[in-house]
């Protein structure tokens, strides 16, 4: 059995126009991008889910250490298969209070992504039932994808190398 799925996303989709009305919205590199505050996030995502965005495909954080006044930025990509529409949501997260509401109630698939963000950046998700490390060992100290977490290096010692004096 085979069926042709819907084809090609359209900019300025009617669903999108209603959804992003009153929010900071623009098109960037062919992607629909909405910038929100952290307290608007759950409400907006819930609204998006009700108009047909049935999946959250991506959740991650970018650390703009010393580049931006607000250090972290949470990035979500919602997908509506019915309308063939992708929506990227960007939420700034303050370094002083690295706590964001969890989306696991709306999209259970974000559970692993939230744990990954917690593991890598130390940002907690309020409401995630299993806020533990996922990729790093449980006793690891620090959050490796933060920009101030050094990759470290091994000093190379040329023990018997010819010395230039």
Task: Look up residue 68 and give its two tokens.
Answer: 């931006």
Tell the residue number behind the tokens 């010395």, with chain if given: 163
**Backbone φ and ψ of 48, nearest 5°:** -60, -40
| Of 117, 153, 120, 112, the residue nearest 136 (C-alpha) | 120
Nearest approach in angstroms of CB 16 to other proteins is 16
Residue placing its CB nearer to other proteins in the complex, 11 or 108: 108
Residue placing its CB nearer to other proteins in the complex, 38 or 106: 106
Q: Name the 3-class secondary structure at 32.
A: strand
Interaction mask 91-120, other proteins, x per CB under 8 A:
-------------xx-xxxxxx---x---x
Query: Does the protein bind other proteins through residue 60 (CB under 8 A)?
Result: yes
Q: Is the CB of residue 86 less than 8 Å from the CB of residue 77? A: yes
Binding site for other proteins (CB under 8 A): 1-9, 28-31, 54-58, 60, 62-63, 67, 75, 77, 79, 81, 84, 86, 88, 104-105, 107-112, 116, 120, 127, 129-130, 132-139, 144-145, 151
């Amino acid at each position: 059995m085979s069926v042709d799925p819907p084809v090609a996303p359209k900019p300025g989709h009617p669903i999108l126009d209603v959804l992003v009305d009153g929010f900071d919205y623009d098109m960037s590199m062919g992607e629909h991008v909405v910038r929100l505050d952290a307290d608007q996030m759950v409400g907006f995502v819930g609204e998006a889910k009700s108009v047909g965005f049935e999946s959250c495909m991506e959740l991650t954080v970018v650390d703009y250490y010393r580049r931006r006044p607000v250090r972290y930025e949470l990035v979500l990509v919602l997908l509506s298969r019915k309308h063939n529409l992708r929506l990227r949501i960007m939420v700034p997260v303050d370094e002083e209070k690295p706590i964001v509401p969890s989306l696991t109630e709306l999209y259970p698939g974000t559970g692993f992504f939230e744990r990954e963000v917690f593991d890598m950046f130390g940002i907690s998700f309020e409401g995630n039932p299993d806020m533990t490390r996922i990729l790093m060992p449980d006793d690891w100290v620090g959050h490796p994808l933060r920009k101030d977490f050094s990759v470290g290096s091994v000093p190379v010692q040329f023990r018997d190398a010819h010395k230039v004096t």
